[in-house]
Amino acid sequence: MDIGIVGCGLIGNRRAKVAQEAGDNIIAVADIDPARARSTGEMVQAAWVEDWQVVTRHPEIETVVVATVNKTLLPVTIDALNNGKHVLCEKPLGRNAQEAGEMVQAASAAQRVLKVGFNHRHHPAIYQAHELAQAGKIGPLMSIRAVYGHGGRPGYDQEWRGNPDLAGGGELLDQGVHVVDLCRWFLGDFSQVSGMLGTWFWKVAPLEDNGFALLRTAKGQIASLHTSWTQWKNLFRFEVFGLNGFLTVDGLGGSYGTELLTMGLRRPESGPPLLESWEYPGPDISWVAEWREFTGAIRENRPPLGEGYDGYQAALIIDGIYESSKTGRTVELSGKPA
């Protein structure tokens, strides 16, 4: 498959390496910083440019990876889709649900695959937990409790993530979109959300460095989540509770610790649960697995896991949490289609 990359930062480079190692042909890369564009271009032996439209309108490119700051995800993705390209757009799918909806509509009109960079679905512990939950191993699902955070780095608030116009949101939108997507993947659509935000350490106001939310489905299932830029030791913990047991995912590899999935089954006579665990100590394979899913969806003409509509629904939920934080009220979600 002939690929173009727009955005040559950390994630763009990671996507480029994964695509090349999968045997795909990277034709051109683009970044507004010529030094970064050149570095990535030389790394993957591709043409490099500053003008992203050279990539989105290149006649030989079939698929475009968009890994820019949040503000430019919309124009780059729309232009690529309008020029007949399939797109993998990094999370979040724009700065809000309005932007996400426009991208979903453009993909539908162009009849092209639009995938969101929700690589967390492809972490092996999370993927296996979802399979176990779907198989009914812990019974009907009741609730989810999730925590995800890191402590930033010196000058973090001076980077683009601290700019409201470029980012569109703070930690809730940055890491929180992954957790929101996972909660919806396990429990389904949410009908009510409430949230509170805090800006306590990083000088990013009006953006938040901590986000707290409660999400409720129409069936009464509840997800509780906390995302943080003041988690001084990196942490990922995702707990799913069913009538007959629980599933817990700890760690994502690297600085978050080894991925560990634990299943606990309730004993009929009460007492300590029956425990089984699986550990994934190897390197992070989520990026490779997600790329395989994306290109497979293109070849098989089917929606990918973590499609554009999933990004739109996650954006609706996050918009609702921001609204709830401002008004102090629970927000009803319409679930309207993009």
User: What's the sign of the alpha-carbon dihedral 21, 25, 27, 30?
Assistant: negative
Yes or no: is domain 2-119+288-306 CATH 3.40.50.720?
yes
Specify the pLDDT at position 268. 87
pLDDT above 80 (res 36): yes
Q: Which residue has the higher pLDDT, 207 or 334?
A: 207
| Residue 216: pLDDT band with limits 50, 70, 90 | very high
Q: Are 145 and 280 in contact (CB under 8 A)?
A: no
What is the spatial distance between Cα 42 and Cα 40, in angstroms, rounded to a whole number? 5
For the cut 80, the answer to whether the pLDDT of residue 130 exceeds it is yes
pTM of the model: 0.96
Question: What is the identity of the amino acid at 297?
Answer: A
CA distance 19 to 24: 5
Output 153 or 82, whichever has higher pLDDT.
82
pLDDT of residue 324: 98
> What is the pLDDT of the chain when averaged over all its residues?
97
> Does 337 score more than 80 pLDDT?
no
Which band of pLDDT confidence, cut at 50, 70 and 90, is reported for residue 215? very high
Residue ranges per domain, the chain? 2-119+288-306, 120-282+315-332
Which has the closest alpha carbon to 27: 84, 77, 65?
65
Q: pLDDT digits over 4-30, tens only?
A: 999 999 999 999 999 999 999 999 999
Under 8 Å between Cβ of 166 and 158: no
**Counting Cβ atoms within 10 Å, is residue 49 exposed (0-12), middle (13-18) or buried (19+)?**
buried
**Structure confidence at residue 282 (pLDDT):** 87
Mean pLDDT confidence for 291-318? 98
Q: How confident is the model at residue 336 (pLDDT cuts 50, 70, 90)?
A: low
CATH number of the structural domain 120-282+315-332: 3.30.360.10
Helix (H, G, I), strand (E, B) or coil at 286: helix
Element containing residue 14 per DSSP (H, E) = helix 10-21
Please state which of the ranges 193-197, 281-285, 308-312, 332-336 shows the lowest mean pLDDT: 332-336
Question: What are the start-end ranges of the E strands in the chain?
Answer: 2-6, 25-30, 47-49, 63-66, 86-90, 114-117, 141-149, 190-198, 210-217, 222-228, 235-242, 245-250, 259-265, 274-280, 331-332
**pLDDT tens digits for range 255-285:** 999 999 999 999 988 889 999 999 999 899 9
